[in-house]
Amino acid sequence: MTPQDITKLIVRTSMRDRAAFDSLYRATSAKLFGVCLRVLNDRAEAEEALQEVFVKIWTKADRFAASDLSPISWLVAIARNHAIDRIRARRQPHSDIDGALDIADPAPGPEAAAVAAGEREKIHGCLEELEKTRADAVRGAYLKGESYAELALRHGVPLNTMRTWLRRSLMKLRECLER
Amino acid sequence: MIFEDDHGPMDGGDDLVAAEYVVGALSAEERRQAALRIERDPVFARLVEAWEARLSPLADDYPEVEPPAGAKQGIDRLLFAGDKGVTPAGASAGLWQSLAFWRGLAATALALLVVAVAVPLLAPRATPPQGGTQFVASISPKDSDVGYLAYYDPAARSLSLAHVSGERGQGHAFELWAIEGQAKPVSLGVIPAGKTIRVRISPEIGKLLANGGTLAISLEAPGGSTTGQPTGPVVAVGGLNQI
C-alpha cells in the first residue's frame, strides 16, 4: 500500500468511514503493534496499547490534515508516544528490555521501502558521527522509549551527564541532517 | 545552559525540549507538560513535528508483528457497538439491561449516577467529538481474566465500556469504581451485562476522570456493594490516558 493510499484511508477515517478504518487497521496494525511491543516488551500490554492507539486514531484522524508528516510517520508517532507514556506510567521499568523480546528479524515492510533510502542512510550516517555510546543512547531512547534515568543506569553515568550527552547529540544530529 | 564539552554555552530552548520529547527520554511529568504544550502552543507543536519528521527514518527498525486476532474486536465494540443488526430482540435486550441496571442501582442507592444503554458511542456518521481531549483506559485483569476497554469523552460526559474478557459468574455483579490518587473509590454503579455499555457521568465524577483517575472493577453481590466501598476483590484495574 502506498503512502498516498494510507493518506486516503486516514482522511476517510476522519469522515467516520468505518470501512476505511478497517482497511487502515489491516494495513498498519502490524507496524504499530511492532512499535508497542518493542517499547512495552509485553504482549498483553502491547495489545492494550494498540487498542488505545486505534481508538485515538479514529477519534483524532482529522488532525492528520494539519500535519506535514508522512502518513505512516504520523501513525507511528501516535503509537510510539502512547507506548512511551504507558511505560512511564509503570512503577517499575523493565530492567531487561531486550531479554524477553523474542521476535523474528524485521523484514522491511512496504513503508520501509517507501521512505527514501537516502533519508535513512543520512540519519544513520549522522548517528555514526556521534560517539558510539551516545548514538546508542539516541537509538535506545527512540526505539525503546528509555528514559534518562534508565539510560544513565545502563551506561553507568550520572543522570545529568546523560541528559547533557543526549541533548548535545540531538543538536549535532540536527546540524548534520541539515547539512 | 552550559555544556561540559568545549562548544561553549548552548541554549536550545524549546527546540531542545521538543527534541527530548520526541526522542522519548523525558520523565512522565516532563512528558505530560510537553503534551499539554503541544495542545496549546502551535509554535511548539511545529517544533515537535519537525523532530518527529527528522527522526522518523529510525522507525524503520521497528519490526512488523501481527497483533492478536481479537485486538480489533475490542476496538470495534467500543467504537461501533450496536452499529449493525439492530433487531427488535436486540432492542429489548437493551431495555432489559437498562432495567436490570436501574434495579441494581436502586439496591445500592449509593451509586452516584447512571444510565446504561447498549447504544453505539460513535456510530458512523455520528457527530465527531467536538475537539477537546478524550481518555482511554484498558481496565486490565488483576488476578482474574476480566478486562474492559473504556473511552471517556468529557464534552459529552459519556463513559463507554467494551467488554473484552471474563465472566462475572452466577450470583455476582461487576461494580465500576473511579479512584483519584489516594482518595477512596467512588462507585459508578454496577456494570450491566453486555458487550458495550455507555454510562453518563456526573460533573463531579467527570472532573475526577479528567484528572487522570483510575478505573477499577470489583466483584460484588448482585446489586453491588451496600457499603459505598468495594467489598469483594478488585478483578480489573486501569488508568485513564489522555488521547
- Backbone φ and ψ of B182, nearest 5°: -95, 5
* Listed residue (B175, B169, B239) closest to B210, CA to CA: B239
- The closest CB to that of A52, out of B61, B68, B138, belongs to B138
| pLDDT at position B11 | 55
- Count of CB atoms situated within 10 Å of the CB of A162: 25
CA closest to A48 among chain B residues: B138
pLDDT average per 10 residues of sequence, chain A (179 residues): 92 92 97 97 94 94 90 96 91 38 41 63 92 93 94 93 95 93
What stretches of A1-156 show up as alpha helix (H) in DSSP?
3-14, 18-40, 43-60, 71-89, 110-114, 117-128, 132-144, 148-155
Q: What is the DSSP letter of A62?
A: G
Domain ranges in chain A with CATH number 1.10.1740.10: 1-92
3-class DSSP assignment, residue B227: coil
Residue type, B153: D
Domain A115-179 class?
A: mainly alpha
pLDDT at B9: 40
Average pLDDT over residues B52-65: 95
* Ranges for all domains in chain A classified under CATH 1.10.10.10: 115-179
Between CA A58 and CA A38 the distance in angstroms is 23
pLDDT in tens, B66-125: 999 989 998 998 888 755 433 333 333 333 344 444 344 333 333 333 333 333 333 333
Beta bridge partners of B152: B135, B159
Cell output for A102: 523474542
Confidence of residue B12 (pLDDT cuts 50, 70, 90): low
Cβ separation A174–B19 shorter than 8 A: yes
How far A32 CA lies from chain B's nearest CA (Å)?
8
ipTM > 0.90, yes or no: no
**Helix-helix angle B28-40:B13-23, to 10 degrees:** 120
Report d(CA B22, CA A142) in Å as an integer.
8
Sequence-ordered alpha helix ranges (H) in B28-154: 28-40, 42-55, 71-80, 88-108
| Averaged confidence pLDDT in chain B | 77
**Best B14, B60, B84, B161 residue to mutate vs chain A (most A CBs within 10 Å):** B60
Is A12 part of the contact surface with chain B (CB cutoff 8 Å)? no
CB–CB of B67/B85 below 8 Å? Answer: no
From chain B, the residues in CB contact with A51 under 8 A are 71, 74-75, 78, 136, 138, 149
Searching chain B, which residue's CA lies closest to the CA of residue A72? B56
What values do phi and psi take at B75, rounded to 5?
A: -65, -45
Residues 6+ apart with CB under 8 A from A177: A122, A123, A126, B54
Q: A142, A123 in Cβ contact below 8 A?
A: no
pLDDT tens digits, one per residue of B189-225: 899 888 888 888 888 888 888 887 899 999 999 888 8
Mutate to test the interface with B, among A170, A175, A179 (most CBs of B within 10 A): A170
Looking at residue A115, what is its pLDDT? 52
The reply to whether A131 touches chain B by the CB within 8 Å rule is no
* pLDDT for B35: 93
Predicted confidence band at B180 (pLDDT cuts at 50, 70, 90)? confident
Provide the grid cell at A124: 544513520
B186 or B95, higher pLDDT: B186
pLDDT tens readout for residues B228-242? 899 989 999 998 888
Given a cut of 60, whether residue B56 has pLDDT beyond it is yes
Name the nearest CA neighbour of B162 among B116, B115, B192, B196: B196
- Tell the CATH topology of A1-92: Rna Polymerase Sigma Factor; Chain: A (1.10.1740)
Distance CA B229, CA B226 (A): 8
Nearest CA in chain A to B57: A120
Q: Where are the domains of chain B?
A: 13-61, 71-242
- Residue A5 CB partners (closer than 8 Å, separation 6+): A27
The CB-based long-range contact list for B227-234 (8 Å cut-off, 24+ gap) reads: B227/B110, B228/B110, B228/B187, B229/B184, B229/B185, B230/B175, B230/B177, B230/B185, B232/B172, B233/B143, B233/B144, B234/B142
- From chain B, the residues in CB contact with A97 under 8 A are none
Chain A residues near residue B79 by CB distance under 8 angstroms: 55, 58
Question: Closest to A60 (Cβ–Cβ): which among B25, B124, B243?
Answer: B243
- Do A31 and A109 form a contact (C-beta atoms < 8 A)? yes
pLDDT band at B37 (very low <50, low <70, confident <90, very high): very high
